[in-house]
């Protein structure tokens, strides 16, 4: 469990995480509204040399060009849809050739890869608690 007291610390966590990411990696980030999911994504992007990352809530996904492309998805609007799996598939994400981070990534997102990092942000008080769960053989032995 990692404790995060400020937005800067959340950004730094994303940068620290980016060092471990490579093409084909899937990161699912969950937490309530305002937890810091997009700030974490901005930190990952910064670590990859990408600036200008904003929440893709209304466009659902954005591809940021870099040495390894960074796909940032916000699945919030898909959660209550009739068939979130179908809508996620319609995005035609190039997960194999990119680093993909999905905010609000639930079971419909987890099925995209047996190897992934699942990050949960608890915002039940001012100090956030971040839990990173490695899933699959790619992440065996992973820790920050």
Q: Does the pLDDT at position 69 exceed 90?
A: yes
Distance CA 65, CA 121 (A): 27
The sign of the CA dihedral 36, 28, 4, 129 is positive
Beta strands in the chain (DSSP E): 2-4, 26-30, 61-64, 70-74, 99-103, 116-122, 128-135
Q: pLDDT tens digits, residue range 76-128?
A: 766 665 655 545 666 667 888 999 999 988 877 888 889 999 999 999 888 99
Please determine, looking at this structure, whether the domain spanning 2-136 carries the CATH number 3.30.70.20.
no
Q: pLDDT tens digits, residue range 24-68?
A: 999 999 999 889 999 999 999 999 999 888 876 656 677 788 889
Distance CA 116, CA 100 (A): 10
* pTM given for the model: 0.90
Average pLDDT, the chain: 87
Distance CA 103, CA 55 (A): 9
pLDDT of res. 75:
77
How is the chain split into domains, by residue range? Answer: 2-136
């Amino acid at each position: 469990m990692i404790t995060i007291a400020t937005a800067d610390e959340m950004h730094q966590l994303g940068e620290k995480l980016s060092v471990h990411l490579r093409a084909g990696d899937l990161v699912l980030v969950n937490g309530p509204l305002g937890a810091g999911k997009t700030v974490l994504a901005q930190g990952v992007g910064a670590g990859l040399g990408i600036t200008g990352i904003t929440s893709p809530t209304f466009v659902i996904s954005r591809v940021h060009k870099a040495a390894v492309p960074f796909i940032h998805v916000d699945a919030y609007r898909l959660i209550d849809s009739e068939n979130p799996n179908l809508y996620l598939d319609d995005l035609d994400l190039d997960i194999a050739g990119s680093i993909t981070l999905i905010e609000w990534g639930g079971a419909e997102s987890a099925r995209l890869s047996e190897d992934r990092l699942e990050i949960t942000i608890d915002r039940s008080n001012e100090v956030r608690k971040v839990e990173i769960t490695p899933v699959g053989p790619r992440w065996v032995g992973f820790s920050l």
